[in-house]
Each structure stands twice: as structure tokens, then as C-alpha cells.
Structure 1
Amino acid sequence: MLAALAEFIHSMGIFNLTLGHILMIGIACLLIYLAIVKGFEPLLLIPIAFGVLLTNLPLADMMAEPIIEIKDKVIHTVQPGGLMYYLFQGDHLGIFPPLIFLGVGAMTDFGPLIANPKSLLLGAAAQFGIFITFLAAIGSGLFTAQEAASIGIIGGADGPTAIFLSSRLAPHLLGSIAIAAYSYMAMVPIIQPPIMRLLTTKEERAIKMTQLREVSKKERILFPILVTIVVALIVPPATTLIGMLMIGNLFRECGVAGRLEDTAKNALINTITIFLGLSVGATATAENFLRVETLAILFLGVTAFAIGTAAGVLLAKLMNKVMGGGINPLIGSAGVSAVPMAARVSQVVGQKENPSNFLLMHAMGPNVAGVIGSAVAAGILLSLFK
């Protein structure tokens, strides 16, 4: 009896708790606090943080791989894996991020981009941070080309794209990259305004833009079809993300698939968000996360985000001068694909200079272009380093 009791006591997690476990549990609790109290991307940060908590509870084996044996050419499961291990297969096999894009497409209005195609240039400029950070990560000597590509994509401010690319190129960094990507997405209202004000004058921030033209239903239907064809023919590896984004948008715009649109933008995306967040967070074990490389990822991630923001603003300034005015440079910052938060930041900063200024719809053009741009950038990096 005493032996059984002693064995039970030693099987308790508390007797296997290490300093690494304690630190990671603290990080998980901090992320939960930021999500609930500060409102930092709660829909994703809460499941990610709880995934971090679950995977760092000793002996819980939430990410344990199954133990199998083969007898007479038949596979037998000796011991099943942990729940998070099975959910993680949706990330590892590249299933969850494209399904998130499907829901995003069903929720996204590409009308501002169609009405002002020049916005595509601003979305492309904001991806500049991805490639600069990619080079910086390689130059640091800490990362391989595949790891550097996965880190650079944080600059696109698109969590699903970052997860999709890192799951293919650097799955061991997935937890660190996902936490960095979603943390910086949540801090868009903190990170972007100082950069925007630094690179623009008071007069530029007060520029009022003319109302966008009305976009026809025919244009809205043709847009997702044509974008899918063009992107797939130029950058085939981007087809998975772009294709799911655009079919979701086609559900929205065609007018005859209301049930599919509703499922994609509500039930489906909410379910996948839970699974994605939990399983990604579960990869952030103490062994994978508490390393010098993680600090480098966090630093390079915010650098990528800042460079992307600055590149968008500077190109918008140039376009304003070349085209004789009428373009508020603040909308360039929305080229990072944190939809719609980055566009709202452009609106808020612009209204502080001119209360009658309404930049939201103008900023939505670069914002949704950034979603396309980050997916294309991921496709380019995937084709180069897979």
C-alpha cells in the first residue's frame, strides 16, 4: 500500500516540474492576461496561450507522439498520442491555415482594392519588410535560409501565412514564430502610429481623399477568379492560400451561396481558430522556446513589421508627389495584412490631424492587398527554399 502511494506521489506532475516548465507557464499566463485584460488579439492569443500552458504541464503528454509497432506487416497502436499531437497534424500537413484563409475571404470586401488598383502597389511595398528581415536573419548566423524565410514572413502581419510557411520550412520554430506574429498583429495600434508620424508631415496626414467609385457586382465576381488564375500561373506554391482566400470571397460576392459564405465566415473559421491556436501553442515547449534564437525571432519580427509599415508609408508619399497630390501617405501603413486593424489605425491617425478625414475605405485597399501580397511572398519563399 505504501509502495503504491509512493509511486502515485512520484507520478504527480509537481515532482517533475522544472525551471523551464515554470517559466513557460508564466509566459502562458502573461499571454492570457494580455489577451483578456489588454484585448491583444484575444480570439487567437487565448487558445495559443492555453496551448503553451497545456504542453508545459509535466507528464500531461499533450504533444506525445503515438507508440506503434508492426507485427506481420500490420500496424498496431501500443499507446495513442496526446490530443495536441493529433490536432497539430492540421498545421503540419498545411490544412488549418488555408481554411482560415477561406473564412477570411468570406469576410473580406475587395471593393476598395478593385476601385483603386494602385492600392496593390502599397500592399506590395509593405512586404518589403519580409525580404529585408529574411536577409538580416541569414546575416545573423543564427538561422538557416529556411528558418530565415519563416521568420521574415512575420513582417506580413498575417498569422496564418506565418504558420503555413513555418510549418513547411521550420516546424521546430512554429511556436515562437506564431506567438511573435500574433503578438505584433495585436500591437498594431502601438507599433504603427509612431512610425507613421515620423515619416509624414502634419500637412500630409491631413490630406483628404476623394470618395472611391462604386464597384459593380460583375467586377466583384470576376476579381477572385482572375486573381486565382494569375497568381497560380506566376507563383504556383501560393495557390493553396490564394485559392482558399478567393473561393471564400466568391462565396461572399456571387449572391447564390449564402449558406456557404455563412459557414466559412462563422462556424468553420471559429472552429479552425480554436484548433490552430491550441496546436500551435502546444509546440512552444520549454526546450523549443527558451533559447537565444527565440529572442532573435522576437526582435527580427518587430523589425520586419516596422520596415513593412515604413515602406508602405514611403511609397504612398512618393505616389502622392508623382501623381500631384490627393493621396494621404497614412494609408500606406495599412499595406501590412492585419485586417482590418491596420486600416483602422490609418483612420485614427488621420482623424487626429483632420477630424473630417475619412481614410478607412481608402486604407482597406492596401490592407486587403497586403493579404494577397503576404500569401504571394510566402509562395515565393516556399518555391525557393522548400
Structure 2
Amino acid sequence: MLEDHVKSPSTRRRLLAVGTRAQVDAFVAFLVEAGYSPVTVEQTCRYLAVLTGWVRRHGFDDDFPAGLAAYGVLAERGRVPECESTARGARRAGKRYVQFLREQGAAPALTAPCDRIPLLGAFHRWGVDQRGLAETTLRLYEDVLVDLVDALGDDPGAYTARNLRDFVSARSRPHGGRRGETIVCAVRAFLRFLVAAGRCRDGLPDAIPRFASWKLSSLPKYLEPAAVQRVLDACAPTTPVLRRDRAILLLLSRLGLRGGDIGRIAFGDLDWRSATIAVAGKSRRRELLPLPQDVGDAILDYIRYARPPMRHQEVFLTARAPHRPVNNGTVSQIARAAIVRSGVNAPSHGAHVFRHSAATAMLQHGA
């Protein structure tokens, strides 16, 4: 396997100096199965050989992830012998190798905050079981709550209205209003869990004031139907990427789906005979929506002619290897690129503007 993809004897020799033949061959197979091109596989191995040489010289043979972290710190300071582009490629290759080692069980897996901090683990389970919160929402909250536990400790009995408000104020200060609202929501949700578990006094969640906002102070930002059509026309299905983007944009504009909803669409959710699609939104309750002809045609066109031949159950995958299901961020980038390409003067450039546009069009037609 190694000889088939890496032509340089020197690169092969350096790779085999830190891994067994079976391990290196397995890594090459891992790259091939992930959808990387032969050129990228060889380039990745060449960069990895650079990194493994540094790791071996500095005594990190038995802990490659620690060696990668140390190399990254020095590379950011310009204190490695390689030029900036080579060092960047070496770090990128090292991250792929560490991912491979973790999947093989040869390196310790990353631990989430909910696994590392028992209090957050209990909150995570409560959020899923009792509140129906999505994993993405919980990860967003836990990013804030790790800082809260670090600042105030893991004894909820010591939490007071004053130190909680001080934490929220300090944590929100570097951010804008929207991020500040998320921080407040995270802390209030955590406090509601503590009250439910009998670990802090009632009323403490109400001690955290919400950010000032006024409902209906502005109308939702949307595009007129003609502008939506211009964006769709800018995604003529002439390349694999544009075939995918057009199908995603049709789902956004015709059905008003969220970016996260699109990332979770699996083959089993599509019923071609009844022309329906099953979608589970924030409530995680599956609902059947009609599948318009043009949307179905675009999805089918993508599956037949553009989708990478991967085993993922999700329909929409990233265009570049490693091919994985798209997420909310990917869908927003697709929407932004299409709007820019079309030249439409949009009020916002994210995926949500299409959801608002679909809802506005329905209201205008008497829905």
C-alpha cells in the first residue's frame, strides 16, 4: 500500500521510523477510503514524514499527539526549521494522523467537557432527557459552562446572584449582543438544572437578567422571489459542487429548512413514491413535508452524478476530502457564496435568509 502511493524512498523510510509497516499502510488506506486524491495522499505522507522526523528527534516517539502539540506551539513562533508553508502542511498532516490513531484506539480519544466534569455530565444528560436539547446546543452551552465552573467552582451551593452576574458580565464583554444572549441562556439553563436537581436554591436563574431586546422591533430579513431565483440561477448544475449547492439552496428556499436540518437528511428520510421528506427540527420530532418536483429532481441529480461514493447515510457531503456530512456552517457558506456569485444585494448572507424568504412568500400568498 505504501509503495503504491508514496514514490520517494526517503519519505517511506522516515515514515517507517516511527510506525510499523502495518500501521503506516493502514494510515494510507485510511486516507484513500476518506476520498483523498492520490496526489493529496502522497503530499500528506511527505508532510507527515517531516513531522515524524521532528517528533523522533525531540523524544516524542511514544506520544505523537503531544509531539504534534509541541511542534504547533513552536511553529506559531517561527521556531521550527521548516518554512511556514511546510510547517503548516506538517501540522495538517499530523492532525490527520492523530485522528487515524484515535479511530484505531492507538491514541487516547478527546474528552468532552461533559465527560471530564461530573457536574456538566449530569447537566448534559438532563438537557437531552428532560429538555430535548440538541447536541450542538449542549456543546455551545458547555463551552460557556466550563469557564463558569473554572471561575466559580463545582459546588453549586457556593453560587450567589452576585458572582453569577459578575461571571456573565465578564464572559459577555468581548462579544456582541447575540453571543451575549447565548451566554445568558447557557447559564440560566444550567441553573434551572441545578434547581431541578435540588443543588441550588429556587429563584437563582431569575437573578441573571436577559440582554435587552424588543420583540418585533424589526421585520425578518428576506429576499423577494425574483432575487431568490437569481441566486438559484447562479448555481447552474455544471459541476459536482454546484449540483450539491443547487439542491441545498432549493431545500432552503422551497421548504424553509434550517442548515442543520439539511445536514441531517438521510437516504431513509426520502420517500420518492409519495414525494415526501422526513425532517426532524429543533424539537427532534419527525415531520413529513411535501417534496416539490424541482427539489426532488435536484437532489436526485446530485446523488446520481455528484455525490462522493461514501458510505455515509446522510445525503449531502462536503466536496473536499475527508468527505463528511455537511453541517450548519457548511450550508451557510454555500448560501453566502451563492448570494455573492449572483450579485444579489441581500440583507444578510446566511442560510437563514432563505428560510425567512420562504415564510414571507407563504404569508404573501395567504398561508
Q: Which has the larger radius of gyration?
A: 2
Q: Higher helix fraction: Structure 1 or Structure 2?
A: 1
Q: Same fold (TM over 0.5)?
A: no
TM-score, normalised to structure 1's length? 0.25
Q: Which has the higher contact order (CA 8 A, sep 6+)?
A: 1
TM-score, normalised to structure 2's length? 0.26
